[in-house]
Amino acid sequence: MTAGNPFRIVDNTDTGPSMATISGPAPRISSLLIKPASAVCNLDCQYCFYLDRDADPYKDLSSRLMPIETLERLVDTFLFYSYPQSTFAFQGGEPTLAGVKFYKKLVEFQKRYGRDGQSVSNALQTNGVLIDKEWCDLFREYSWLIGLSIDGPEEINDLHRFNKAGHGTWKRVMQSLELMQKEKVDFNVLCVLSQANVHKPKEIYKFFKGLGVGYMQFIPLSEFYPDGTPMPFTVNAEEYGRFLCEIFDLWWPDRRSVRVRFLDNLAEAVAGQKPGSCTMHETCDSYVVVEYNGDVYPCDFFVEKHWKLGNLEMDSWQEIARRARRYNFAAKKTIAHPECQVCEYQSICHGGCPKSRHGQHRDFADLDWFCGAYKMIFAKAVGPLKKEVEKITGKSADLTPFHISPY
């Protein structure tokens, strides 16, 4: 069975008050994605998925910052729950809006509440415009992993990534990138793929490589109008597939020194490991999102009232992990599209991301918007990656056979 979910799922995804829990062992919450400033941002990127989102439960509140008391409770309870390995990832909106003192407090709480033998890791995704030496000192001292958003060279980045005054942000972000390199902060770049850069894989790859960036992440845009028409900057499957295939060719000779997240995840899947990205997991239950006020949700794309799992001030992590809604959400991925049921790549792809199955018609029933892209890159890359894994490990990298059990 693909789901690994032995429970009968009751559909309670309406806006009713259901906070039912399910008895029995729950899949562990392995990491937190924390939004200390909620979806609030100091930039106005044109394609931002968070802006003016009707379903955002907090959209009418202009100021949203996590109180220190909420942060302390979060750290205390999650370190206890997740012992011996605890992962805290910060995202927004823009998480640096919480201020560097907020994160110094975080580290203080982690030291206070962590136990002997506990490994704690921190990561933060930022647009980079507030980063200065004080931030870099904190990131370096505690070995944080930083994700820096930049879409390529200036003329590409500044087509969509604006500040509040409507001006391009590339020059300021490049200052932060150079500062982080100088200060020896461990960082990767997150490049959003839109119509501005999806046709320029060579230019993008060479730009980042030329800067000495060793880890790249590409996120294709897929946003739609309410009638299901793609928004102008949205990337289609063929465009994304071609981009990934060209990146693969560029990356292959550099594969021991440069990392590309999608290809890393694919290599992990081919090697029989659990990939880092939830998109390639069997179910959507590896992490949860924590909002500025302690509210918890199953995924950053579904911070919506009817998916709320609880609040960390009132509920324990064990209770949150067992919410019926969490199972319902996790199971969305296991209801395989007919095309996935007969797909040779199902054991790697697991049907893609429910956000991309839901975006166009809002009912989770579509084939993943990027399915065509996945098939293109899998057809090109799985063979060579399999051989590479076998060469490194000395073991055969057979893909596990798949079997779908639709709910």
Residue 282 binds ligand SF4, judged by CB under 6 A: no
Strand (E) or helix (H) holding 191: strand 186-193
Residue 371 binds ligand SF4, judged by CB under 6 A: yes
Measure the CA–CA gap between 74 and 76, rounded to whole angstroms.
6
What is the maximum alpha-carbon separation in the chain?
Answer: 56
Residue 135 binds ligand SF4, judged by CB under 6 A: no
Residue 359 binds ligand SF4, judged by CB under 6 A: no
Q: How far is the CB of 287 from ligand SF4 (least distance, A)?
A: 7
User: Which range in 25-33, 42-50, 174-182, 333-341 contacts ligand SF4 by CB under 6 A?
Assistant: 333-341
Residue 220 binds ligand SF4, judged by CB under 6 A: no
Indicate which residue of 300, 315, 363, 398 is catalytic: 300
x/- site string to ligand SF4, residues 335 to 354, per CB under 6 A? --x-xx--x-xx--x-xxxx
Return the number of other C-beta atoms located less than 10 Å from residue 164's C-beta: 9
Residue 323 binds ligand SF4, judged by CB under 6 A: no
User: If we measure between CA atoms, which residue out of 233, 178, 234 comes closest to residue 356?
Assistant: 234
Residue 218 binds ligand SF4, judged by CB under 6 A: no
* Residues that contact ligand SF4, how many (by CB under 6 A): 22
Q: How far is the CB of 367 from ligand SF4 (least distance, A)?
A: 6
Tell me whether residue 264 is one of the annotated catalytic residues. Answer: no
Return the number of other C-beta atoms located less than 10 Å from residue 49's C-beta: 16
Helices (H), 114-160: 133-141, 154-160
- Cβ neighbours of residue 309 under 8 Å, at least 6 residues apart? 288, 296, 297, 298, 315, 320, 323, 325, 326
Measure the CA–CA gap between 31 and 247, rounded to whole angstroms.
29
Tally of residues, the chain: 407
User: Which range in 52-60, 146-154, 205-213, 278-286 contacts ligand SF4 by CB under 6 A?
Assistant: 278-286
Measure the CA–CA gap between 200 and 67, rounded to whole angstroms.
43
User: Which range in 158-166, 181-189, 371-379, 382-390 contacts ligand SF4 by CB under 6 A?
Assistant: 371-379
Q: How far is the CB of 6 from ligand SF4 (least distance, A)?
A: 20
Using CB under 6 A, list all residues that contact ligand SF4: 278-279, 284, 299, 301, 337, 339-340, 343, 345-346, 349, 351-355, 367-368, 371, 374-375
Would you name the residues annotated as active-site residues? Answer: 300
